[in-house]
């Protein structure tokens, strides 16, 4: 189905029950508000979205941006000048929540000073009932609260909020779903970059790693139909997209719950065939589900980038068991060996947690040993954060803060050592680069990304942004390169 033209919608009728038609109806209705606003103020109302957290949230924010743009909002240059502020929240670690409360404190102050402002909160943090309770009592100025399952409903919720404002009433509109099977296709979106995109292939997670809150706030795994995914990417390629990132909490279990099951490798084979698409990335891969079929498809592909994000979380088999990860250190290392045998130049990245309950010095040294043996090109390192409701939160042996801090610094050093050794190996080689932007510090340079996800800066101009060019990596600077473009190679 193609996206609907709002001008063809008859607002004298009741809203349709079916999606996405229902949401287009409410977008058309909300557009009346932005038109009236513009007549009164001489400019359209402006929105500002702050996205916290992961790529999934970043993609959800693109969908929010798309809906608001269709409604007739424009993007504000800053939070201070916005008429509608949205926070798309994350709750994977405690400090993500604290950041949101800090920002809300500032908004409260603005509201108390009498500023006209609409405020909406959505995302993972809203799926926690105690958070919503706290917002209801301490941040009563918030207009709309919705969760991770009903982002698509923004126009409908905004319409209810505007109807209240018409009547000079203020009651928080709260719409949180615990879980859902619903996937609404063909809604608007608005990409940050015209030449690269993120595409959800699945939602939710069934893994219940013992430290992680994601399965509780994002619900059970649901895969999109392969034909919907392919159609979306084809459309994007027509609009100029060269690189796609397929997104899911665990892409390796893609397709298992579909009526006609398909593997992730099977989906990749179809994506590979899309003409005009040059690069394919994906994340995240759970090591327990990474198949030989996937390695084979990657190794034989000209489009799939030589980069795999393969979070290990810990190098201790003892802790991996308690974390409910379903692999041992040895199995992970064997997987790495298989990947390196098939693709010697592949860049591997990881997520690693320090200070999981009961982590001993020996456990931690296993992690350091694993990091040195894998040779990651980079890794996100996290201090364990206790998340209420997860099994790990009830584990008694929390590691003292000073011990965690000291281990964290040692881990960071080990990761950085490996990352610069990995980067150094490519110095002097010739690589294909997708140019992403003009360098903000030195406008005579452009910055692009290699297939393995590393950055390179080289002399160039704005006209090259979005193009694939060939570059010699002259000098390795630890985690990025300086290079020069080669023509006619
Ligand atoms: N504490 C610290 N890190 C966590 N992650 C998930 N839950 C927690 C937690 N409670 C990390 C994992 C995951 C990444 C997205 O966030 O490493 O892979
Ligand atoms: Fe969290 Fe584990 Fe699911 Fe990743 S796979 S989102 S770490 S539960």
pLDDT by residue, tens only, the chain of 489 residues: 556 789 899 999 999 999 999 999 999 999 999 999 999 999 999 999 999 999 999 999 999 999 999 999 999 999 999 999 999 999 999 999 999 999 999 999 998 888 889 999 999 999 999 999 999 999 999 999 999 999 999 999 999 999 998 888 889 999 999 988 889 998 998 988 999 999 999 999 999 999 999 999 999 999 999 999 999 999 999 999 999 999 999 999 999 989 999 999 999 999 999 999 999 999 999 999 999 999 999 999 999 999 999 999 999 999 999 999 999 999 999 999 999 999 999 999 999 999 999 999 999 999 999 999 999 999 999 999 999 999 999 999 999 999 999 999 999 999 999 999 999 999 999 999 999 999 999 999 999 999 999 999 999 999 999 999 999 999 999 889 999 999 744
Sign for the pseudo-dihedral over CA of 254, 255, 257, 261: negative
| Nearest ligand 2 atom to alpha carbon 250 | 5
Nearest-ligand number for the alpha carbon of 312: 1
CB 250 less than 6 A from any atom of ligand 2: yes
How remote is the CA of residue 187 from the centroid of ligand 1, in Å? 30
**Which ligand is closest in space to the CA of residue 55?**
1
**Ligand 2 centroid, distance to 208 Cα (angstroms):** 6
Distance 285 CA to ligand 1 centre (A): 14
Report which secondary-structure segment, H or E, holds 321: helix 317-322
For residue 403, give Cα distances in angstroms to 315, 359, 383, 396, 464: 17, 10, 11, 16, 48
Cα(465) to centroid of ligand 2, in Å?
35
At 484, is the secondary structure helix, strand, or coil? strand
Question: 52, 93, 324: which to mutate for ligand 1, most atoms within 8 A of CB?
Answer: 93
Ligand 2 pocket check for 215: Cβ under 6 Å: yes
**DSSP letter, residue 313:** B
Closest CA to ligand 1's atom 8: 212
What's the gap in Å between 290 CA and the centre of ligand 2? 15
CB 276 within 8 A of CB 237: yes
| Terminal Cα-to-Cα distance of the chain (whole angstroms) | 42
Got the DSSP string for 395-407? -S-PPPHHHHHHH
Q: Which residue has the least CA distance to atom 5 on ligand 2?
A: 207
pLDDT for the residue numbered 489: 44
CA 133–ligand 1 middle distance (angstroms): 25
CA 184/CA 224 separation, integer angstroms: 10
CA distance 230 to 440: 34
Instruction: Work out the angle at residue 376's Cα, subtended by the Cα atoms of residues 209 and 392, and round it to the nearest 5 degrees.
Output: 20
Degrees to nearest 5, angle at CA 207 with 203 and 212: 90
Does residue 214's CB lie within 6 angstroms of at least one atom of ligand 2? yes
Ligand with the closest atom to the CA of 250 = 2
Which ligand 1 atom sits nearest the alpha carbon of residue 211?
10
- Distance in Å, CA 23 to ligand 2 centroid: 31
Q: Ligand 2: which of 208, 210, 249, 313 to mutate, judged by most atoms within 8 Å of the beta carbon?
A: 249
CA of 109 to the centre of ligand 1 (A): 32
| Predicted TM-score of the model (pTM) | 0.95
Atom of ligand 2 nearest to the CA of 92: 1
Q: Ligand 1: list residues with CB < 6 Å.
A: 92-93, 211-212, 311, 313, 351, 353, 382, 384-385, 387
Quick check: CB of 249 below 6 Å from ligand 2? yes
Ligand 2 center to residue 229 CA distance, Å?
A: 23
The DSSP-derived string for 106-141 is HHHHHHHTT---EEEEEEGGGGSHHHHHHHHHH-TT
Cβ count within 10 A of residue 426 = 19
The helix/strand/coil state of 309 is: strand
- Per the rule left: phi > 0, alpha: psi between -120 and 50, beta: everything else, 279 is beta
- Rounded to the nearest angstrom, the distance between the alpha carbon of 384 and the centre of ligand 1 is 7
Per-residue b or e along 147-173, where b marks 16 or more CB atoms closer than 10 Å to that residue's CB: bbbbbbbbbbbbbbbbeeeeeeeeebb
Partner residues linked to 347 by β-bridges: 307
Ligand 2 pocket: which of 207, 211, 289, 393 to mutate (most atoms <8 Å of CB)? 207
Q: Does the CB atom of residue 212 touch ligand 2 within 6 A?
A: yes
Q: Is 209 in the pocket of ligand 2 (CB under 6 A)?
A: yes
Is the Cα dihedral 346, 351, 357, 362 positive or negative? positive
Please state the φ and ψ torsions of residue 191, each to the nearest 5 degrees: -85, 150
Burial pattern 179-203, b for ≥16 Cβ within 10 A else e, equals ebeebbebbbbebebebbbbbbbbb
**In ligand 1, which atom is closest to the CA atom of 311?**
18
- Residue 264 CA to ligand 1 centre (angstroms): 23
Angle between helices 154-166 and 55-71 (to 10 degrees): 50
């Amino acid at each position: 189905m193609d996206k609907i033209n709002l001008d063809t919608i008859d607002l004298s009728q009741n809203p349709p029950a079916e999606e996405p038609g229902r949401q287009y109806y409410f977008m058309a209705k909300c557009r009346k508000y932005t038109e009236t606003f513009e007549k009164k103020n001489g400019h359209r109302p402006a929105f500002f979205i702050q996205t916290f957290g992961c790529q999934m949230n970043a993609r959800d924010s693109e969908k929010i941006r798309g809906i608001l743009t269709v409604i007739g909002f424009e993007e504000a240059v800053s939070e201070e000048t916005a008429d509608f502020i949205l926070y798309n929240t994350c709750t994977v670690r405690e400090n993500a929540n604290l950041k949101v409360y800090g920002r809300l404190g500032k908004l409260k102050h603005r509201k108390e000073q009498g500023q006209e402002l609409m405020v909406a909160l959505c995302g993972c943090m809203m799926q926690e009932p105690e958070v919503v309770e706290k917002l209801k009592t301490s941040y009563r100025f918030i207009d709309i609260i919705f969760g991770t399952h009903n982002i698509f409903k923004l126009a409908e919720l905004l319409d209810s909020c505007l109807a209240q404002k018409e009547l000079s009433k203020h009651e928080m509109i709260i719409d949180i779903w615990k879980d859902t099977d619903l996937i609404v296709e063909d809604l608007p979106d608005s990409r940050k970059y015209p030449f690269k995109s993120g595409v959800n292939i699945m939602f939710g997670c069934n893994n219940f790693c013992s430290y992680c809150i994601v399965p509780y706030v994002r619900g059970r795994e649901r895969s999109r139909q392969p034909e919907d995914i392919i159609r979306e990417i084809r459309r994007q390629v027509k609009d100029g997209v060269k690189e796609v990132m397929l997104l899911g909490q665990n892409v390796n279990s893609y397709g298992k719950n579909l009526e006609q099951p398909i593997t992730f490798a099977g989906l990749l084979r179809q994506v590979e065939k899309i003409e005009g698409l040059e690069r394919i990335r994906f994340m995240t891969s759970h090591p327990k589900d990474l198949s030989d079929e996937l390695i084979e498809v990657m190794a034989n592909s000209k489009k799939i980038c030589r980069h795999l994000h393969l979070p290990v979380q810990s190098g201790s088999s003892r802790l991996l068991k308690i974390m409910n990860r379903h692999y041992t250190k040895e199995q992970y290392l064997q997987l790495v060996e298989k990947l390196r045998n098939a693709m010697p130049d592949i860049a591997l990245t990881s997520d690693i947690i320090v200070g999981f309950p009961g982590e001993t010095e020996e456990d931690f040294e296993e992690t350091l040993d694993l990091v040195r043996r894998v040779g990651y090109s980079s890794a996100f390192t996290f201090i364990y954060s206790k998340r209420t409701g997860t099994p790990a939160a009830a584990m008694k042996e929390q590691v003292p803060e000073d011990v965690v801090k000291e281990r964290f610094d040692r881990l960071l050093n080990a990761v950085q050592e490996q990352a610069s050794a990995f980067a150094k190996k490519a110095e002097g080689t010739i690589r294909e680069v997708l140019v992403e932007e003009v360098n903000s510090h030195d406008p005579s340079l452009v910055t692009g990304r290699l297939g393995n996800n590393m950055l390179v800066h080289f002399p160039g101009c704005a006209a090259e942004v979005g193009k694939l060019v060939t570059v010699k990596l002259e000098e390795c600077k630890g985690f990025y390169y300086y290079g020069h473009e080669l023509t006619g190679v």
